[in-house]
Amino acid sequence: MVTYIQVYFFDVENPNEIVNGAKPLVKEKGPYVYKQYRKKTIKSIDENEDTISYTQREIFEFDAEASGNFSDEDYVTILNTPMNSILQIAEKYGHQIIKLLANCLNDIFNQMGTVFVKVRVKDILFDGVQFCVPHSSLCALQQTLVCNVAAKKKNVDKLQNNSLQFSFFNYKARSDDGLYTVKRGIQNIQTLGHIVKLNNSTRTNFWQRLGPNSVCDKVEGTDSTLYPPEISRDSVFKIYSTDICRDNIDGIEPHEDLHRTYLIVEPETGTPLEGMKRIQINAVLRPVGNINLMKHLPRVVLPLLWIEE
Q: Cα separation of 251 and 30, whole Å? A: 14
**Mean pLDDT of the region 206-226:** 69
The confidence score (pLDDT) of residue 190 equals: 83
In the chain, helix, strand, coil percent, each to 5?
Answer: 20, 35, 45
Angle, CA of 229, 235 and 241, to the nearest 5°: 85
Domain residue spans of the chain: 2-80+115-128+167-244+249-308
Q: Which span out of 52-56, 91-95, 144-148, 199-203 was modeled with the highest average pLDDT?
A: 52-56
Contact between 12 and 26 under an 8 Å Cβ cutoff? The reply is: yes
Per the CB < 8 A criterion, the answer to whether 158 and 167 are in contact is no
How confident is the model over 101-134, as pLDDT tens digits? Answer: 888 888 888 767 789 999 999 999 999 999 988 8
Query: For residue range 265-283, what is the model confidence (pLDDT) as tens digits?
Result: 555 555 554 455 678 899 9
Rounded (5°) CA angle 132-138-141? 60
Residue 219 has pLDDT above 60, yes or no: yes
Assess whether pLDDT exceeds 50 at residue 246. no
Instruction: Please give the pLDDT value at position 175.
Output: 82
Which pLDDT score, from 0 to 100, does residue 126 have?
95
Altogether, the residues listed in the chain come to a count of 309
Q: Among 55-59, 67-71, 186-190, 210-214, which is the least confidently predicted range?
A: 210-214
Number of other CB atoms surrounding residue 172 within 10 Å: 20
- Gap between the Cα atoms of 34 and 11, Å rounded: 19
Highest mean pLDDT among 43-47, 271-275, 289-293: 43-47
15: phi then psi, degrees, rounded to nearest 5: -60, -40
CB atoms within 10 A of CB 83: 26
Reduced to 3 states, what is the DSSP secondary structure of residue 307? strand
Which DSSP state fits 239?
Answer: B
* Arithmetic mean of pLDDT, 38-55: 92
**Whole-number pLDDT of residue 253:** 46
Instruction: Specify the range with the lowest mean pLDDT, choosing from 82-96, 135-149, 244-258.
Output: 244-258
pLDDT of 51 over the 90 cut: yes
R_g of the chain, CA atoms, integer Å:
22
Prediction pTM value? 0.76
Q: What is the mean pLDDT of the chain?
A: 82
* pLDDT at residue 259, as a whole number: 42
- pLDDT band at residue 170 under the 50/70/90 scheme: very high
pLDDT band of 18, cuts 50, 70, 90:
very high
In this structure, what are the phi and psi dihedrals at residue 290, rounded to the nearest 5 degrees? 70, 5
The whole-number pLDDT of residue 123 equals 96
